[in-house]
Amino acid sequence: MRCGKMAAPPPPPPAGTAGAWGGVRRRCQRLLYWVPVLFISSILCWSYYAYVTQLCLLTMTNIGEKVVCLVAYHIFFMLFIWSYWKTIFTLPMNPSKEFHLSYSDKESLEREPRGESQQEVLRRAAKDLPIYTRTMSGAIRYCDRCRLVKPDRCHHCSVCDKCILKMDHHCPWVNNCVGFSNYKFFLLFLAYSLLYCLFIAATDLQYFIKFWTNGLPDTQAKFHIMFLFFAAAMFSVSLSSLFGYHCWLVSKNKSTLEVFRAPIFRHRTDKNGFSLGFSKNLRQVFGDEKKYWLLPVFSSLGDGCSFPTCLVNQDPEQASTPGGLNSTSKNENHLFPAKSLRDSQSHLLTDTPSWSETSAKAEKGKVGMSNPALTMENET
């Protein structure tokens, strides 16, 4: 090697190499996301074999007990599988086209410096939208990645890389976002999985006791019976706390994200801004027809883009109120949104008996809501 000369740098990789490796990495990540689902599925398959074959068919001697346990077990099993399947494979709903910026508005945002010009663009885009929440700094909720004005209760999921309507959380156990489109399915999945585990633990208990008192024949069934009880009891404890937490969320009409960061309206933060009372909060998730409440079929009210609120303050910049009702003063409070709701949810505000719970709160401190301050801030 001659002195005074440096070795030439290695040639850069071909242009398509980085993209190819990026694609492989993304596919590997997508496969890894299914590992928790496969784990739950394998546990479920083993529990079916252990309960049906080893416990019911080979261990139980009473025919009546065997038939009752098999019938009840398969009912819980099918409801569990059905709700779990719907939670996994129901696609999260994204904001409708009306919340996306037009091509001209996108160009204006890119061209104009941050300031009054961009505020005017967002003012135009959000003028006729049913939006009442804003960011902590008083800015309109705008997603830079999806290029849209966020509907109320909508958040951007970093895993899905999409804005999800009424997002609760991204659940690795179902490899899906839990939001407006599948929240009812997720609740039923928790409920039926808890009932499934409790049923197994209850019917397996006497045989679990016989295992420790040497009352079972010395076969491989005794070890399946022991581990079946341990697994059912362990999952029952964790599922009961999680299911209880989400029942509380439904009763308060909150999402997990809203518990950690309460929604911010025009005048102040209001952690109960979307609560309409227990009955109406329940109907928003499960719908008006009670015959569908316990089935994993979609029956939630609305479209996920607009929600009734407990108290709304009319703003002169907002669209007129539904039903021809108009505000006579800028600071006059109303028990209906300043912008029109979808028909499937607006009836919740016209049913006056359920307002007894929220009217007391309104007397203590009236919380107004209107179009957010129109300064842009990225929120993901």
d(CA 81, CA 43): 13
Tokens of 114: 């941050």
DSSP 112: S
Burial class (CB in 10 A: 0-12, 13-18, 19+), 158: exposed
C-alpha closest to that of 194 among 232, 224, 225: 232
Cβ atoms within 10 A of the Cβ of 175, count? Answer: 19
C-alpha closest to that of 139 among 130, 149, 147: 149
Contact 135, 371 (CB under 8 A): no
d(CA 218, CA 49): 19
Q: In this structure, which amino acid lies at residue 265?
A: F
d(CA 291, CA 218): 47
Rounded-to-10 torsion of CA 204, 205, 209, 211: 20
**Catalytic amino acids?**
171
Work out whether strand 140-143 and strand 376-378 pair parallel, antiparallel, or are unpaired. parallel
Residues 6 or more apart in contact with residue 6 via CB below 8 angstroms:
none
Cβ atoms within 10 A of the Cβ of 361, count? Answer: 15
Tokens of 199: 């049923």
Rounded-to-10 torsion of CA 263, 269, 274, 278: 120
- Per the listing, tokens 């028990």 go with 335
